[in-house]
Amino acid sequence: MDDRYALLAPYLTDARKQRFGDVLGQRTNWVTAVTEDLFDSHNISAVLRSCDGFGIQTAHVIEVQNPYQVSPGVAKGAAKWLDIERHTDTTHALRDLKSRGYVICCTTPHTDDTTPEEMPIDRPVALVFGSEGPGISEAARAEADLFVRIPMFGFTESFNISVAAALTLQTVTRRVRAMEDLDWRIHEREHPRILGDWASRTVKDAHNLLERLRNGGVPPLPRPE
């Protein structure tokens, strides 16, 4: 059993604990975002910020040629509130998501399969956003269950990846939350682990503090975070 939150809660302000509860109550893994080999840290940071802003708890980062980097000025600390799963192979990553019940939805301006407003959401969806320039890879195309296109009406063919992700994630999460028969919220059995992660990333020197608390050495309460 994850006891981190129970141990660290006295070191958090009441306002922080209330905020944790409010945010966790709106978190979902019904929708997840997958970035494939992005090379611009500003773009991947913006996607992660959108995930947090739209209540998506887990993001998947595929690193084939380009290592995962976050731009602090863009992410604004969003990454520390998310579960970020890193992968080095597109095929393996998407097949793993399929094994968890996700429908693989690759975003591309080059197909007329479906749109964020019309795509099915009766099953969990993994929205895949390809690299700047080339877009989704052939490996991603091979694993796609459907392709998602943002309707556009100007001369520009596509949006920047960060904009496309924000638009798509906002539309899909809004639709999911409006579906009364979907059990889209994160299950309560996952709450202790997530709250433990958040508290550990909030309380100063949490690792050493937890070790002392578990060994019976109760340090004085500092000013709550």
Residue 148 in domain: yes
- Number of domains making up the chain: 1
Rg (CA), the chain: 19
Q: Tell me, what's the pLDDT at 134? A: 81
pTM metric for this prediction: 0.90
Q: Tell me, what's the pLDDT at 18? A: 97
Q: Tell me, what's the pLDDT at 72? A: 61
Residue 203 in domain: no
Residue 104 in domain: yes
Residue 142 in domain: yes
Amino acid at 111: T
* Strand residues in 55-187 grouped as ranges (E): 58-62, 83-87, 103-107, 125-129, 146-148
Residue 10 in domain: no
Instruction: Return the CATH number at 135.
Output: 3.40.1280.10
Task: Find the domain containing 65 and state its range.
Answer: 26-178
Cα separation, 171 vs 85, in Å, equals 23
Residue 119 in domain: yes
Residue 46 sits at the vertex; the CA angle it makes with 19 and 48, to the nearest 5 degrees, is 50
Residue 192 in domain: no
Residue 49 in domain: yes
Tens digit of pLDDT at every position of the chain (225 positions): 789 999 999 999 999 999 999 999 999 999 999 999 898 888 899 999 999 999 999 999 999 887 777 766 554 578 899 999 999 999 999 999 999 999 999 998 877 789 999 999 999 999 999 988 788 999 999 999 999 999 888 877 778 899 999 999 999 999 999 998 999 999 999 999 999 999 999 999 999 999 999 888 766 666 666
